[in-house]
Amino acid sequence: MFITSDMIERLKSEYGAPEYEDFHISVSRKEIDFIRSTQKDGRHHDVTLYIVKDKQIIVTAKHFYPPGMYRAPSGGVNRGEEIVDGAKREALEETGCEIDLERFLLVTNVLFEYEEDPPDELLWHSYVFQARYVSGDFNFTDKHEIREVRLAGLDEFSGFAKVMRGMDIGGLRYRAALHERVAPLLKI
């Protein structure tokens, strides 16, 4: 197991107790197969980072995102890696920035459901943190996954969510719903 209950308890003691939320998201067969293809060594989680710099959030765009669509960066913790170390590594790879975690905001249980015949489902977890920008110039190294990094005002996320929902991709509908759940928890 990548993330253990002991790890979560240490995070709670250092960054505060998170809230918890369950999501049920309908996905296509292609989407559920794609999610499975990203589960290196059976990983079923991501760490999502709301990184604050100058009262704005650092956001990323993947290569397939249409112009004007961004989201908070996220990535997986490697087997044997502490969550804080994985979060800092992912932030550096995806944004080119060094960060410090500040607050543990939310833990999600997401059930991605394919309801056609034969039905299928996959359980996913997101561990969401508010982080503080320390240094960096957005010169990210994960060019395979990330196309662009920029700063965005919190008010821009509703526009990102509208675009995400318009693409009719379950994973993006989840990201839109996740932001709506996280937004009131942020302290900027």
Return the pLDDT at 187.
96
Return the pLDDT at 1.
58
Return the pLDDT at 57.
98
Taking the CB of residue 26, how many other CB atoms lie within 10 A of it?
A: 13
Return the pLDDT at 170.
94
How far apart, in whole angstroms, are the C-alpha atoms of residue 50 and residue 170?
A: 21
How far apart, in whole angstroms, are the C-alpha atoms of residue 55 and residue 158?
A: 17
Q: Show the domain range for 113.
A: 5-185
Give me the number of domains the chain comprises: 1
Q: Is-above-0.85 flag for pTM?
A: yes
Taking the CB of residue 33, how many other CB atoms lie within 10 A of it?
A: 13
How far apart, in whole angstroms, are the C-alpha atoms of residue 127 and residue 14?
A: 14
Return the pLDDT at 87.
97
Q: The CATH number of the domain where 9 resides is what?
A: 3.90.79.10
Q: For 25-80, what is each residue's pLDDT tens digit?
A: 999 999 999 888 888 888 899 999 999 999 999 999 999 999 999 999 999 999 89
Cis peptide before 118 (omega within 30 of 0): yes
How far apart, in whole angstroms, are the C-alpha atoms of residue 107 and residue 83?
A: 13
**Six-digit token pair at 26?**
């309908």
Positions of the chain with pLDDT under 70 = 1
**Six-digit token pair at 24?**
């049920």
